[in-house]
Amino acid sequence: MKKFISGIVFGITIIPILDSVAELVCGGIEALKIKNTKKVVKGNVEIAKIQEGVEEKPETVCMGFQVPSKEDYNNGEWEEE
């Protein structure tokens, strides 16, 4: 009977305390992640500012594919319609 009562007391008191401690640890880890995220965001903002001045955009038909110009082909390989 003693073990039964001590099991109930353990379940009612110790398990919620351990759960709260685990939440505190997870919250601390998340706080550490925030510091790294702020550094990444600052870097992204700097890159965006640098890229604002660059207006050169390639003429593409779809993402990752560039249409070759006439200079890319030799004279015999390009046929005009």
Note the maximum CA span of the chain. Answer: 97
Q: What is the pLDDT at residue 40?
A: 92
Bridge partners, 66 (sequence order): 60
* Residue that the structure tokens 């099991």 belong to: 7
Radius of gyration, alpha carbons of the chain: 31
Report how far residue 57's alpha carbon sits from residue 65's, in angstroms, rounded to the nearest whole number: 13
Q: Residue 62 — left, alpha, or beta (φ > 0 → left; ψ -120 to 50 → alpha)? A: beta
pLDDT at 50: 83
Q: What is the pLDDT along the chain (81 residues), one digit of tens a residue?
A: 888 898 898 889 988 899 999 999 999 999 999 989 999 999 999 988 887 776 666 565 566 666 666 666 655 555 555
- Dig out the tokens for 73 from the structure: 């082909």
